[in-house]
Structure 1
């Protein structure tokens, strides 16, 4: 999403270079984003539908900095078979590099035990979700794809590849966004700022409607061949004790969620959007019991069986 053409942002398609540019920042700040929140539920669904204690291989598609792989190891290392393969794949070499660094750090930090042994079996690979070659047909028992499929060029092709590499009766879990109030707020801030800058307001990138509801995601999985499909909504908000700090972090993150704006503005113009975003949040967002503003986020999580 680094192109300056607004029309190319409408369908929220993100390229490998977009993630490469923000991979280091993303890896360092992933705990401050809501992207990791649905992972807990996805792992629960994988384990309840097909116990991770029986996993022969676990594939993390669109792994980013390795959040799902890390959480699986953290929560299940004691029960994972010692022969379980863990593959962390992403089409961004920057993200795969972040996983490699995380693996090296864990192997250096951890003492002997099942957690260290699990990290030793992690294999980071640059791989496109739409082309999982050289992975063999019917080779993987568990697959997790957190916020991936709705952003690829051909989601149906990615799901077909996911289905192909799953073993018979294997399970695949994925997530998408139903609502992103931080994107909505940024769009409002842009609509107020760009006219003042005498520039046309770009269109906000959007998630395809087929991925924003439980019904839509369920239909996508069904079309790909999955059975025993389960979908649900999970709340994944951003909590902001300091609105100004959040707005600055968000607008300077290089994340594709903001580059549709920041790539076509200079530094001072971005600061103007940042100021407006603070105002929009204060006008439209509720506070929690601790007085922090909350930007609503709702994810769709889903699982299906081959």
Structure 2
């Protein structure tokens, strides 16, 4: 997550992410966790640089430690890295990560407050793997975040970056905006293209891009996503609304969710996955 000065202006105010920390997994419908679980199995462990007992991994811009949780879920205990740094700039996210990982089988894990765009105190060429899971679009300076990933990776190290092609809650919000106030602008969340990774130091020939899709059909997870799109994270989507229009938002979101489910059989996410070798 990003700070007040470094966060993308289209996102909620930074203090929201502190309040969001405790509900992150529920309100994302476990989408960021489940997509990364699949990536661990289907891409990372089948790459030329799988994670193993000698690996040193950075879960950067980690939120409540989603990448660490995905590794624990998908790797055997003897495959887990010997060392892991879980970092985020939001203190509440770091606290949430620490609480969730304190009893995990990870051998050595540190949860620390750090800015992914300026990893002060982290040595050059330190990590074998760096995972940035659905955070790159939150930065004003995404190239700086990639440069720091490149700097802190060992030669031959693997960077794993995920980003949304279709972040379903924003499409639901956009559909809701069109129903209530079609006259107001209602843009979607920006999603950086893979060009940032070349600018950040990685060579084009050493970058592989994959697509991932996920349809969330579980009722409890859909309820969490509905809370996300109904609540304060999307307050900026309602700028310019009258009190009466604001009052219509939650029910109209539920209508848009029903339309999404009718079209896709659930809430549909699309992501791209970038694996880059230093």
**Deviation (angstroms), 1:266:** 9.0
Kept in 2: contact 1:61–1:89 (CA 8 A): yes
Choose 70-79 or 150-159, whichever is displaced more: 70-79
5+ residue gaps, structure 2, are 2-6
Shift in CA distance, 74/10, structure 1 to aligned 2, threshold 3 Å: closer
Question: Aligned residue for 2:15?
Answer: 17
2:83 is equivalent to residue 85 of structure 1 = yes
Aligned to 2:34: 37
Partner of 1:110: none
Shift in Å at residue 193 of structure 1?
A: 2.0
1:44-66 CA-to-partner distances (Å, cap 9, x unmatched) read 43332312125431000111111
Partner of 1:206: 189
Does residue 51 of structure 1 match 2:50? yes
What is residue 171 of structure 2 aligned with on the other side? 184
Shift of 1:10: 8.5
Larger mean Cα displacement after TM superposition, 69-78 or 175-184: 69-78
Any idea what SS the aligned residue of 2:39 has? helix
Q: Which runs of 5+ in 1 are unaligned?
A: 2-8, 108-114
Q: How far apart are residue 246 of structure 1 and its match?
A: 5.6
- Residues 192-229 of structure 1: CA deviation (Å, up to 9, x unaligned): 2247xxxx735334214xx2xxxx31x32222222421
C-alpha distance in 2 between matches for 1:78 and 1:284? 39
Higher alpha-carbon Rg: 1
How far apart in 2 are the matches of 1:72 and 1:242? 23
Q: 1:248 to 1:170 in 2, by over 3 A?
A: closer
Q: Relative to structure 2, which stretch is displaced further, 272-281 or 147-156?
A: 272-281
CA–CA distance in structure 2, aligned partners of residues 194 and 241 of structure 1? 28
Contact 2:147/2:200 (CA < 8 Å) preserved in 1?
yes
* 1:1-306 pair list within 5 angstroms: 12-13=10-11, 16-27=14-25, 29=26, 32-44=29-41, 45-47=43-45, 48-53=47-52, 55-80=54-79, 84-104=82-102, 106=103, 115=105, 118=106, 120-194=107-181, 201=184, 203-208=186-191, 211=192, 216-217=193-194, 219-227=195-203, 228-239=206-217, 241=219, 245=223, 248-254=226-232, 256=233, 258-261=234-237, 270-283=246-259, 285-286=261-262, 293-306=265-278
CA contact (8 A) 2:61 2:133 kept: yes
Note if contact 2:8-2:139 (Cα within 8 Å) is conserved in structure 1. no
RMSD (CA atoms): 3.2
* Equivalent pair of 1:16/1:91 in contact (CA under 8 Å): no
CA distance in 2, matches of 1:205, 1:161: 27
Q: What is aligned with 1:6?
A: none
Q: TM-score, normalised by structure 2?
A: 0.83
Once the two structures are TM-superposed, the CA of residue 275 in structure 1 deviates from its matched residue by: 1.3
Q: Which moved more, 1:53-62 or 1:142-151?
A: 53-62
